[in-house]
């Protein structure tokens, strides 16, 4: 169970600190699943997938009214290459949203990678 202090990631020398991550103290007493600091855990991706699948399950099981649902998953969103082979036209959605794991009750509503295009 998390004690509310620094979280040392294995022997990597990396530390998750409440000073830099102010939401950590709210997790005191809970079980944290973390990497050893030498690899990427991918927990945000897994959380995003769980959120999406749970939302779709509820929409369908509770017979909530909805339009056409198109669900897609791509890897490597941090570097922007996950969508390299994603065919938007064949996907057939009128609107699309990125869902990524974050704090409970929060949603992601914009892209963080600061990609740019010149027209």
Measured from the Cβ of residue 93, the count of other Cβ atoms closer than 10 Å reads 13
pTM over 0.85: no
Task: With a cut of 80, say whether residue 79 has pLDDT above it.
Answer: no
| 99 vs 3, more confident | 3
First to last CA, the chain: 52
Residues with Cβ within 8 Å of 17's Cβ and at least 6 positions away in sequence, in order, are 6, 7, 24
Name the 3-class secondary structure at 25.
helix
- pLDDT, tens digit, for every residue of 18-74? 999 998 999 999 999 888 888 777 776 777 788 889 999 999 999 999 999 999 887
The predicted structure's pLDDT at residue 5: 95
Strands (E), the chain: 7-9, 14-16
């Amino acid at each position: 169970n998390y004690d509310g202090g620094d979280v040392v990631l294995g022997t990597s020398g990396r530390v998750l600190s409440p000073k830099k991550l102010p939401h950590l103290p709210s997790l005191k007493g809970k079980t944290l699943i973390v990497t050893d600091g030498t690899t990427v855990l991918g927990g945000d991706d897994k959380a995003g997938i769980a959120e999406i699948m749970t939302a779709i399950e509820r929409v369908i099981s509770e017979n909530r009214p909805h339009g056409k649902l198109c669900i897609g998953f791509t890897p490597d969103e941090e570097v922007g290459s996950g969508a390299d082979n994603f065919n938007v036209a064949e996907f057939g959605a009128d609107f699309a949203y990125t869902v990524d794991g974050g704090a409970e009750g929060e949603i992601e509503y914009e892209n963080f990678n600061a990609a740019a295009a010149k027209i």
